[in-house]
């Protein structure tokens, strides 16, 4: 069954700043009845996602269009201890021109960029300078990333420093212990403080779902973070043993759908960690389309947290154009 998408010869608009401006999620009072009523039927969830790749496969021009869409939704990321300004500048150059010009010309597409560039705080100013004039936002990981166990006042202060340096998106990590002990009020209060510290910068709440113990906990943590004003909810830091998975994604997307149905506010979704193949990216996008609809197929409401994914997407697009696979080293990321 082929999913409807834009024709391959339709130019895709640049993915820097959102083309449609949704009102930000202001949050709401913590509703414990709603939170405690959230459940997750693990066997049903696993059956649902197991059938997805084959049932929603797309081919040829449709597949290429979905891969181009995936590129516009990537938070192109480097979060290594050996990051240097030179590496970050190369990454930003790739964000500005993520696909070789000859491939885009053959596809009849122009104006492609990634959704954002994501770095540690120390590299925010470098990334902002490298992306000046492009409209591509810089996201900074914060709040003691990846464990979130530094002193609380320092985690809040770190957000402010990254915003001051020019980050327009902040990826914060929640305290997993609040979820594991069922202290939902503490999680809500923490998220509200982080949201306030972000000011005008959008905040993505990283749940570290691989460390939350159950899909039910994922559902409840998703709701609490949205109630506290998260603009996005994100699966993982990419540093856990288990990162983004389709079952977790289904649970989080349905929490987003429920939140929108009750409040009228759309919250974004970001799977991160372990998504490195083009076919997996298309599967995530089709799940998103099924569960949340076409409006979420946009970088202001959906992002991939990835780096190596872009290389495989570009490689697959070259195969679509030429009929030949090229070596991965011909599609360097940064």
- Domain count for the chain: 1
Exactly one of 69, 94, 234, 289 is catalytic; which is it?
234
Residue 261 lies inside a defined structural domain of this protein: yes
How many angstroms separate the CA atoms of 279 and 29, rounded? 40
Q: pLDDT 10s digit of each residue in the chain, 334 long?
A: 333 434 333 333 333 334 457 899 999 999 999 999 999 999 999 999 988 876 656 788 999 999 999 999 999 999 999 999 999 999 999 999 999 999 999 999 998 999 999 999 999 999 999 999 999 999 999 999 999 999 999 999 999 999 999 999 999 999 999 999 999 999 999 999 999 999 999 999 999 999 999 999 999 999 999 999 999 999 999 999 999 999 999 999 999 999 999 999 999 999 999 999 999 999 999 999 999 999 999 999 999 998 899 999 999 999 999 998 777 767 766 5
Exactly one of 69, 270, 280, 289 is catalytic; which is it?
270
Q: What does the angle CA 248 – CA 254 – CA 259 come to, to the nearest 5 degrees? A: 130
pTM attached to this predicted model: 0.91
Q: Would you say 240 and 210 are in contact if contact means Cβ atoms under 8 Å apart?
A: yes
Q: Residue 175 to residues 200, 225, 269: CA-CA distances in angstroms?
A: 23, 12, 19
Residue 10 lies inside a defined structural domain of this protein: no
Exactly one of 75, 171, 280, 312 is catalytic; which is it?
171
Residue 2 lies inside a defined structural domain of this protein: no
Whether 60 is catalytic = no
Whether 280 is catalytic = no
Residue 228 lies inside a defined structural domain of this protein: yes
Residue 20 lies inside a defined structural domain of this protein: no
CATH of the domain at 273: 3.20.20.70
- Give the domain range for residue 174: 32-331
Residue 105 lies inside a defined structural domain of this protein: yes
Residue 11 lies inside a defined structural domain of this protein: no
Residue 271 lies inside a defined structural domain of this protein: yes
Whether 258 is catalytic = no
């Amino acid at each position: 069954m082929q999913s409807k998408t834009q024709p391959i010869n339709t130019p895709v608009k640049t993915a820097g700043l959102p083309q449609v401006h949704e009102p930000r999620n202001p949050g709401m009072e913590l509703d414990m009845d709603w939170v405690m009523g959230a459940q997750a039927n693990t066997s049903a969830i696993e059956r649902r996602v197991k059938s997805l790749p084959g049932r929603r496969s797309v081919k040829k021009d449709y597949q290429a269009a979905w891969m181009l869409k995936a590129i516009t939704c990537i938070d192109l990321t480097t979060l290594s201890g050996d990051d240097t300004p030179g590496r970050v500048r190369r990454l930003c150059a790739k964000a500005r021109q993520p696909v070789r010009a000859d491939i885009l010309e053959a596809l009849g597409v122009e104006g492609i960029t990634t959704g954002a560039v994501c770095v540690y705080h120390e590299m925010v100013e470098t990334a902002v300078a490298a992306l000046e004039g492009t409209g591509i936002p810089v996201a900074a990981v914060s709040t003691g990333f990846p464990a979130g166990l530094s002193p609380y006042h320092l985690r809040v202060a770190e957000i402010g420093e990254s915003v001051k340096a020019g980050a327009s998106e902040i990826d914060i990590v929640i305290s997993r212990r609040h979820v594991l002990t069922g202290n939902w009020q503490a999680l809500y209060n923490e998220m509200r403080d982080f949201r306030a510290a972000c000011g005008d910068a959008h905040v993505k709440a990283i749940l570290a779902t691989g460390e939350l113990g159950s899909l039910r906990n994922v559902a409840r943590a998703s709701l609490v973070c949205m109630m506290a004003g998260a603009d996005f909810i994100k699966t993982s830091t990419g540093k856990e043993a288990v990162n983004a998975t389709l079952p977790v994604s289904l649970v989080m997307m349905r929490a987003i759908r429920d939140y929108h149905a009750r409040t009228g506010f759309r919250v974004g979704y970001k799977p991160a960690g372990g998504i490195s193949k083009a076919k997996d990216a298309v599967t995530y996008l089709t799940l998103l389309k099924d569960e949340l609809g076409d409006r979420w197929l946009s970088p202001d409401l959906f992002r991939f947290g990835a780096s190596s994914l872009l290389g495989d997407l570009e490689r697959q697009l070259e195969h679509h154009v030429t009929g030949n696979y090229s070596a991965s080293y011909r599609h360097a990321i940064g």
